[in-house]
Structure 1
Amino acid sequence: MTSSRFHTAPDGTRFRDLNGNGVMDPYEDPRRSVDERTEDLLGRLSLEEKCGLMFQTVIEVGDDGELLEAPGKISKSPTTTVVVGKNMTHFNVHAIRTARQAAEWNNRLQALAATTPHGIPVTISTDPRHAFVENTGVAFSAGPFSQWPEGLGLAALDDVETVREFAEVARREYRAVGIRAALHPQIDLATEPRWGRQAQTLGQDAARVAEFTAAYLRGFQGETLGPDSVACTTKHFPGGGPQQGGEDAHFPYGREQVYPGGMFDYHLEPFREAIRCGTAGMMPYYGMPIGLELDGQPIEPVGFGYNKQIVTGLLREQLGYDGVVVTDWELVNDNHVGDQVLPARAWGVEHLSATERMEKILDAGADQFGGEECVDMLLDLVRSGRVSEERIDASARRLLRVKFALGLFDDPFVDVDEAERIVGNADFRAQGERAQARSLTVLVNEERDGAPVLPLGAVGAVYVEGFRPDEVAELGRVVADPADAGLALVRVGAPFDPRDDLFLEAWFHQGSLKFAPGLVYRLQQIAASCPLVLVVNLDRPAILTPFVGHAAAIVADYGSSARAVLDALTGRVAPRGRLPIEIPRSMDAVRASREDVPSDTGDPVFPVHFGLDLEGVEEAPEPTRGYAHR
């Protein structure tokens, strides 16, 4: 798709006449540098246009790729209202049904943006959407995109090249549908076993996470940000893992972030690498630091997005970061969705008005308000003299630089047919499913009748839970009673305490890591009837102690299809995973551990980096195509 505003200059240069004046102005000239174009456009923009740049909120796609001109399930305003009426140009896209739908919607959205006074193109961002977790506040399952293990699964593979390969595939798929910004990687260190956001992390080992971060950013952004890049917002600065008691800072009861082990610098290590690699954006977490000092000075106990000592003092001045800082979602206003509400994450500044919160965020050094569209509030702050226009210019400049570097001003449109060919193609799906299978971690593999239980072969009769009968047909006929089976294959998720009072809460797996006693008893009884192969999906650790000595095999997965699990269990693909987090022996050990210290639960049942190889199963060469269509 092309815009009617594409023109050719007398010297043959193709450009978009974004302001419709028939002249190739400096900001429209693709031959000029990013800085030249940015400064030219910045000088032309109204205050309203500059303020609009400083907001990023949720946007939703019409069922058939049309623009949604009404409030959506989560989005608050019609598309034209935010793009034309509020001059907003950054949006976080939610559900995507097909590649064609997303590509057509992108082109319609960019055409709408081209009607604004200076034709500033839209930057479409997304949370992770290449794995299995479906949580509106965190990530989306893959849908039409290729499907890979969660971040913990990539960490379990302990292979920098696989991380880069994933990022390169994801970049190509995002790029094909017009998504040009990733609200990831999430490089928080998973040092607190109970924390509910570990699935998208890259583990607890700071040095290794730093290496993964570099590979991730290379795959998405390249060596420098350019027209083929997807700009990454690395999160959550300065490390969101050490939440007090493992509760998440999305919620009022989880607002405190603590460092009882004095490991603040350890959690900073991956972020130093992200800065070195040129991450386009950085997102502070909601957490409110308690008892933290920086350079001998107490840190104000307010959420990191409000914290000038952290954003300006540490990130900008000490670490030298001059990229975009976007806050996490809804620091200014409460979020009302249907009959549920989630209070503004104004931790430590709950007493401030919405306007005062916005002013404090700006003073802290952030450039963009995540999850907000209250542009008039910012305009009022400037017009009243409480915020200077120079302060607005500083943030608008950073935001425009990224748009120019990505080439959005030159051509933000995508080829719809090409999007269908690229997104979720057979080769990408094969790569993702192979990574799923390889990431499985074998924790227990006992001998029965003189041979290890794994790899599995046909057993005649099999009892199953967590799989459909057709998914395990190769093992034998499915029976209803474990006593009639030669093998029991059971797949369960890691335990959590269900909660559903606040908006988003039901999607977060929080609380105890202990399995319910009834499930423990029942699985032990199954194991007494026939050999039990237990597969546990670890979106965070689980107390596996009750099953050791009972299950013939215990295997961890981190987001894998049933077929990928069977491929690993049967040895068609060698499972090579090593635990990226430790598996505690008991909840008492978890409660006694320090939130910021890795491997601190004392005598874990399985330590970090533990994993068994299957005897006689070698790493097969990776197929070039067809794996996903056996």
Structure 2
Amino acid sequence: MQKRLTTSVMAALFLNGCSQAPAPTTSQVLISSRSIPVIEQGGLTFRDLNSDGLLTPYEDWRLSPEARADDLVARMTLEEKAGQMVHGTLPGLQGFAGFSSVGYDIDVLTAPVLERNISTFISRLSMAPADIAVQNNLVQQLAEQTRLGIPVSISTDPRNHFQYVVGASSASNGFTQWPEYIGFGALDNPAITEAFARQTAKEYRAVGFHIALSPQADLATEPRWPRINATFGSDPQKVSQHVAATVTGMQGSNKGLTSDGVLTVVKHWVGYGAAVDGFDAHSYYGRYADVANEQAFAQHIAAFDGAFTAHTGAIMPAYPILQHASVNGEAVPPVAPSFNHMLLNDVLRGTYQFNGVLISDWGVTNDCSDECKAPTRRQGPGEIAMPWGVEDISQYERFVMGIRAGIDQFGGTESVEPIVQAVQLGDLTLERIDESVKRVLITKFAQGLFDNPYVDVDTVASVVGQPAILQQAHEAQAASQVVLKNNSKLLPFNFAAKKVFAPGMSAEAISNTGAVLVDTPEEADLAIIRTTTPSEKLHPLYFFGAMQNEGRLNFVESDEAMKALLSLPEQLPVVLAVFLERPAILTEIAPLSDAIVANFGASDSALLAVLSGDITPQGSLPYALPSSMSAVEAQSPALPNDSANPLYPAGFSLLYAK
């Protein structure tokens, strides 16, 4: 049953950071149920979540999220509380680890929801937005069968960017496609970043997503690190500003989470970007980050300032063990942040007064076997584990240590038994568990999920992928690009009636400029070569190492882009378009082109809009581009733009207008 009693929406409810609780609202909010009965009282309606026929405080939307959470926590069993402290995976049909283009396996989901009382899951569906909405409603329908009617919070990794493929843009399955986060760092306009986040939040909520496992506040200080693409760059102050803009847009306010907002999980606290040799801490060989000294470490911490000023509702600790880290002269213990009492309790909860949800990254409680540490074959799911610094203790002890350090919810696990057992054995107090459970429940109440967990499938098309928003995203893709070279003022280029050699690019996009795509460079008036930052697969047996781009950043003659450029006629004007998913070294390849344009996620149309001058490029480099691999190897992984004599310094750009 569904009652639409008024179009008024619950007033914004702040998650944390307010001087006092918001005033109760008396305007009817939207109530939606499938099997849970509805109570009418004083002309108002409420969901009878526990089906007892009475209006209990946690069912009363007129009360604050904090008051409702207090009441609900007092009614929960230990087992129900433990279920709130893990962040599982929605199982997919015909898929792996939740990945599916078919839908959720609701039968498999029954046990985690109804037996283990889990109410937070990540979704990895790859479907049209309206189809995702249908599936997410099925999850909420299942949750109505729980004893207390606790709705499910559904999280997602970023869906509104590019999985870059040379010459082709990812469709994102209908979600609006913006530049990568690093593109917003290049554009450096927090207002545009906030607009992107606000629109993304609308799309997420329209299909039933409530938690964004983003943005990254990590500093891009080690050029070889594979996760730079999802950062805002190397400058702590700028990163902080864009993190604040993202949190504000996503959550719907710079004062906390609102009823139509998406909970942001700012990550990764802290120092993740200082990866030794650029190796990522998803793998055993990359489990260390070297933050150099207290002053350098302070810059990595400062990048999170915007998360606190905008009152993010959640933070995710990082994976790696921090080398040379200290706070106020005291050495940081050599365990990953999820187990680090100093970093979580003393600094995050203490110094920064953060009272939101602390969600661990995935797999930190798993055992790292010999095949996890040094695989003799391609790793499978059973070898995925990241318990860095606590490898030698048991899973049970990791749960206890993490909760004592400050973790409220463990990511990527559906194991609730250690939490229950720890309380029963006296290793954790029920009061400590209640703290975490209340934080998790407050977010659900603030978003109105206890009152209306469902989405209207028929309205998805009116929210997701609207033409005006698609145009804004296209303009952001274009404007975020950076012109690095423009010999003889080749750009902007007049494409009208010209012949263009652009292997892999869209013929339609070329045609829309007034030019013709040709098959050979000999017949062309202009060549456009699209490429990406060079990389290597240095650890192919590791689950993540096989997927991540590691190693060299410089071009060599065996690279496809180099071969393509060397094969072109000498007199043919050439534009090199480089997707900077990491800071490429252009020293060897730059002389082979007349113009170089860097992008951070751009369709062929967005690239051509810049090359033609229809949209003025406004980006500047969000990090330095090194001059050589020897310079990269000699630099500190912790310091921003520490590479000696960069070919292009951070902030570099050449601007032109049509």
Instruction: Give a deviation string over 1:9-32, Cα, whole Å, max 9, x none.
Output: 321221110100011101000111
SS at structure 2 position matched to 1:143: helix
Aligned to 1:514: 554
Taking the aligned partners of 1:425 and 1:506, their CA distance within structure 2 comes to: 36
Aligned to 2:111: 81
Aligned to 2:89: 58
Q: Against the structure 1 CA distance between its residues 510 and 341, is the aligned structure 2 distance closer, same or farther, given a 3 Å change threshold?
A: farther
Amino acid at match of 1:30: W
Instruction: Give a deviation string over 1:559-616, Cα, whole Å, max 9, x none.
Output: 11111111111112112111111111111111111111111111111111111112x4
TM-score, structure 1 length as denominator? 0.91
Instruction: Give a deviation string over 1:535-575, Cα, whole Å, max 9, x none.
Output: 01111111111122331010101111111111111112112
Aligned to 2:573: 531
Aligned to 2:655: 613
Q: Could you tell me which of 214, 218, 225 is aligned with 1:184? A: 214
- Residue 222 of structure 1 pairs with residue 259 of structure 2: no
Q: Against the structure 1 CA distance between its residues 239 and 466, is the aligned structure 2 distance closer, same or farther, given a 3 Å change threshold?
A: farther
Taking the aligned partners of 2:429 and 2:508, their CA distance within structure 1 comes to: 65
Taking the aligned partners of 1:416 and 1:608, their CA distance within structure 2 comes to: 45
Q: What pairs with 1:207-286 in structure 2 (closer than 5 Å)?
A: 207-223=237-253, 224-260=256-292, 262-286=295-319
Aligned to 1:621: none
Q: What pairs with 1:205-604 in structure 2 (closer than 5 Å)?
A: 205-223=235-253, 224-260=256-292, 262-333=295-366, 339-447=380-488, 451-458=489-496, 460-473=498-511, 474=513, 476-498=515-537, 499-519=539-559, 520=562, 522-526=564-568, 528-604=570-646
Amino acid at match of 1:98: A
Amino acid at match of 1:492: T
**Larger displacement relative to structure 2 (318-327 or 1-10):** 1-10
Q: Is the 8 A contact 1:471 1:563 kept in 2?
A: yes
Taking the aligned partners of 1:269 and 1:216, their CA distance within structure 2 comes to: 16
- Deviation (angstroms), 1:183: 0.9
Instruction: Give a deviation string over 1:164-193, Cα, whole Å, max 9, x none.
Output: 110110011011011111111111111111
Instruction: Give a deviation string over 1:488-519, Cα, whole Å, max 9, x none.
Output: 11101111112431223333111111223223
Amino acid at match of 1:516: V
SS at structure 1 position matched to 2:38: strand
- Deviation (angstroms), 1:96: 3.1
Q: Against the structure 1 CA distance between its residues 302 and 134, is the aligned structure 2 distance closer, same or farther, given a 3 Å change threshold?
A: farther
Q: Against the structure 1 CA distance between its residues 161 and 68, is the aligned structure 2 distance closer, same or farther, given a 3 Å change threshold?
A: same
Q: Is the 8 A contact 1:130 1:141 kept in 2?
A: no
**Larger displacement relative to structure 2 (566-575 or 109-118):** 566-575
Structure 1: gaps (5+ residues):
71-77, 618-630
- Residue 104 of structure 1 pairs with residue 134 of structure 2: yes
- Deviation (angstroms), 1:469: 3.5
SS at structure 1 position matched to 2:194: helix
**Larger displacement relative to structure 2 (371-380 or 324-333):** 371-380
- Deviation (angstroms), 1:61: 5.1
Aligned to 1:14: 45
Structure 2: gaps (5+ residues):
3-31, 94-99, 373-377
Name segments (4+ residues, structure 1) moved above 6 Å: 335-338
Amino acid at match of 1:438: A
Amino acid at match of 1:351: D
- Deviation (angstroms), 1:458: 3.8
- Deviation (angstroms), 1:273: 2.3
Instruction: Give a deviation string over 1:364-406, Cα, whole Å, max 9, x none.
Output: 1111100011112222222222222222111111111111111
Amino acid at match of 2:526: L
Taking the aligned partners of 1:480 and 1:225, their CA distance within structure 2 comes to: 53
Aligned to 2:61: 30
Amino acid at match of 1:37: R
Amino acid at match of 2:586: L
Taking the aligned partners of 2:121 and 2:569, their CA distance within structure 1 comes to: 50
Instruction: Give a deviation string over 1:235-255, Cα, whole Å, max 9, x none.
Output: 111232111111111111111
Q: Against the structure 1 CA distance between its residues 46 and 525, is the aligned structure 2 distance closer, same or farther, given a 3 Å change threshold?
A: same
SS at structure 2 position matched to 1:528: coil
Q: Against the structure 1 CA distance between its residues 606 and 338, is the aligned structure 2 distance closer, same or farther, given a 3 Å change threshold?
A: closer
- Deviation (angstroms), 1:263: 0.7
Amino acid at match of 1:505: G
SS at structure 2 position matched to 1:217: helix
Amino acid at match of 1:52: G
Taking the aligned partners of 2:379 and 2:114, their CA distance within structure 1 comes to: 26
Taking the aligned partners of 1:545 and 1:341, their CA distance within structure 2 comes to: 42
Q: Could you tell me which of 194, 219, 226 is aligned with 1:164? A: 194
Instruction: Give a deviation string over 1:210-251, Cα, whole Å, max 9, x none.
Output: 111221111111223221111111111123211111111111
Aligned to 2:22: none
SS at structure 1 position matched to 2:137: helix
TM-score, structure 2 length as denominator? 0.88
SS at structure 1 position matched to 2:87: strand
Determine what percentage of the aligned residue pairs are the same residue. 37
SS at structure 2 position matched to 1:167: helix
Taking the aligned partners of 2:348 and 2:267, their CA distance within structure 1 comes to: 13
- Deviation (angstroms), 1:123: 0.5
Q: Is the 8 A contact 1:61 1:102 kept in 2?
A: no
Q: Could you tell me which of 44, 51, 69 is aligned with 2:75? A: 44
SS at structure 2 position matched to 1:104: helix
**Larger displacement relative to structure 2 (376-385 or 205-214):** 376-385
Q: Is the 8 A contact 1:256 1:288 kept in 2?
A: yes
**Larger displacement relative to structure 2 (588-597 or 1-10):** 1-10
Instruction: Give a deviation string over 1:44-100, Cα, whole Å, max 9, x none.
Output: 000110000000022145578754146xxxxxxx21111111100001111231122
Q: Is the 8 A contact 1:288 1:304 kept in 2?
A: yes
Amino acid at match of 1:51: A
Number of aligned pairs?
602
Q: Is the 8 A contact 2:554 2:587 kept in 1?
A: no
